[in-house]
Amino acid sequence: MHEWNLREPTRQSVLGVLVYLLRNLRGLISLFVALLLIGAAQPVIWIIIGVALLPGIVIVSIIAYWQYRNFTFHMEEDDLIIHQGIFFKERTVISADRIQSIRIAQNLLQRLLGLVALKVDTAGSGGAELVIPALERPKAVSLKELLYSKKEAALAEGSAEEGSESEGTGTEAQGAPQDGATVRPKAPARILVKLGLGDLLLVGLTENHLRTGFVALAVMFGYVSQYQEFIERYFSDYFDEYANELANAGIAFALGALIVYAVLSVALSLIRTFLRFFNLRAALHSDAVEIETGLLKRESDRIPLRKVQFVEWKTNPLRRLVGFESARLHPSNSVGDVSKQERIEIPALRRAQSGMLAEGLFPAYVPPRQGLKADPAAYVRISCIVSSFLIVPALFVLYSWLQWQAAFILLLYLPIAFLAWMYGRRVRLHFDRSHILLRKGWIFPSRMVLPLHKLQCVSIISNIFLERRSLCHLSMHTAAGSRTVRYMKRDQVSELYNYLIYCIETSDKDWM
């Protein structure tokens, strides 16, 4: 363990100047690009950029140096104290017992410099409340373990004061380690999954390429509309020249565009997979799940087991062929932007690995057998009603061209009704005294495991249309969000509602 004295104000690595410099240069480049897009045709803009370029680089370099120099941190008892700022000084104090999670992240520049960033999320923060962007990895790991050990000692001391006893409290309550001291050894972690290049290739090829393509199109159209004036000014002549030729190409152009869209969607899925999950490693500790992943921006997330509210497993037809399913952990929202962005994901698990994950997160978990079924006919009705908003207008438009033959579009209701029926048949809510198991989906099946003591609220949702058919929705609320089961029998849901409220009120377990 790296010996490190944190009683005195400490600076980051001197290479942190380069980290701050890159951040500042990105802002400067964005400013110059905006100026170019606004007035690229005006010579005065080019003169302004040329004159301001060198002074701008000098100024951001000076600012980067003073950002590094004025950023110091140290420990006082159980508090981490940060001083930063150039013109406006800022002092941040974070108590160890308020820390929810600590992450180690590394972008491409930090990797080249041999540095990492330490991100600390606290209770009630909407994101990372504190970031130390330029630490050597041994020091970052040392500070991370020191903060976690102080947090454990503070929680143990608080539990002792309340008169409650928990496993390991006697050891933890002996006091926090001194600043810079080594942390007591823990049980070795169990490696849950480690993805190689072959696994990443399978994950990328079995992604939802249709969704990836739509997202790429949305992003492209967003940028096109943002810079429409600039594009029209310099490329409108080319569009006018080739627009008629593309229109005359007709079906050939449409097929070509479809092929290009499919190839780009698959390519983007592969790129996205390699960027997010390169060399992913997930390990189960006795008190946390640790996930390290990323290519250009590598992050290490540590999620305490008590913070995990529920877990969802999802798959698709392609992924089922290779025996993979993805798992998504949902920690409490107080963990910060990690939970809100739902980035705690393991994209490729075998069945045995999924079982190991469920056992590690919920030691007493046994898949419950008792359950309720949704009404598939209700899913058929709502699907047909929603699709009518597209089919009926299309019918009137086609009727002006095809007359009565346009009625063939009504045949679309048959596959829509079939898919809705098959989906509704597979909605199952299983429960027992300790857990809820929710199953959904036919083509894209999913399942969710939720410990009952994690529930914060249960509500029954109804309206006049549901009441006429004795149906309702059951909504379950946790600190990580809500999940709703739709179109269930009203009398069965009422009994389940009372049972869940009873289990919540009689449980002696903490939801956090």
Where residue 70 falls among pLDDT bands split at 50, 70, 90?
Answer: very high
Where residue 244 falls among pLDDT bands split at 50, 70, 90?
Answer: low
As a whole-number percent, the residues of the chain with pLDDT over 70 amount to 81
Name the least confident of 8-12, 43-47, 279-283: 43-47
pLDDT at position 176: 42
Residue 180 scores a pLDDT above 70: no
As a whole-number percent, the residues of the chain with pLDDT over 90 amount to 47
Distance CA 211, CA 158 (A): 48
What would the mean pLDDT of 8-21 be, rounded to a whole number?
93
Domain ranges of the chain: 10-185, 202-277, 376-423
Query: Quick check: helix, strand or coil at residue 303?
Result: strand
pLDDT at position 235: 58
Distance CA 3, CA 251 (A): 70
Residue 223 scores a pLDDT above 50: yes
pLDDT at position 450: 95
Where residue 245 falls among pLDDT bands split at 50, 70, 90?
Answer: low
What digits encode the pLDDT tens for the residues 300-329? 888 888 889 999 999 999 999 999 999 999
pLDDT at position 33: 75
pLDDT at position 170: 42
pLDDT at position 165: 46
pLDDT at position 406: 83
Residue 91 scores a pLDDT above 60: yes
Residue 460 scores a pLDDT above 90: yes
What would the mean pLDDT of 325-349 be, rounded to a whole number?
72
HSE-CB at 187 with a 13 A cutoff on CA atoms is 9
Residue 181 scores a pLDDT above 50: no
pLDDT at position 238: 58
Name the least confident of 54-63, 159-168, 224-233, 362-371: 159-168
What would the mean pLDDT of 25-33 be, rounded to a whole number?
82
Average pLDDT, the chain: 83
Q: Compute CA 131 distance to the chain's CA centroid, rounded to the nearest angstrom.
A: 19
Cα distances from 308 to residues 57, 303, 347, in angstroms, run: 45, 7, 18
Q: Are 76 and 16 in contact (CB under 8 A)?
A: no
Query: 393-408 burial, b for 16+ CB within 10 Å, e for fewer?
Result: eebeeeeeeeeeebee
Where residue 100 falls among pLDDT bands split at 50, 70, 90?
Answer: confident
Q: Are 305 and 236 in contact (CB under 8 A)?
A: no
What digits encode the pLDDT tens for the residues 349-379? 999 999 999 999 998 889 998 889 999 999 9
What digits encode the pLDDT tens for the residues 252-306? 667 777 888 888 889 999 999 999 999 999 999 888 899 999 998 888 888 888 8
Helix 251-277 × helix 209-226 angle, to 10°:
100
Distance CA 221, CA 311 (A): 35
Rounding to the nearest 10 degrees, give the CA dihedral for residues 236, 237, 238, 243. Answer: 80
**Residues 6+ positions from 170 with CB-CB distance below 8 Å:** none
pLDDT at position 222: 66
Beta bridge partners of 10: 73
What digits encode the pLDDT tens for the residues 376-388? 999 999 999 999 9
97 backbone φψ class: left, alpha, beta (φ>0; ψ -120 to 50): alpha
Closest by alpha carbon to 354, among 302, 313, 406? 313
pLDDT at position 403: 80
DSSP letters along 335-386, please?
Answer: G-HHHHTT--EEEEE-HHHHHHHHHHHSTT------EEEB-HHHHHHHHHHH
Where residue 335 falls among pLDDT bands split at 50, 70, 90?
Answer: very low
pLDDT at position 174: 40
Closest by alpha carbon to 119, among 280, 275, 302? 302
pLDDT at position 465: 92
Return the higher-pLDDT residue of 335 and 450: 450
Query: Quick check: helix, strand or coil at residue 422?
Result: helix
pLDDT at position 364: 81
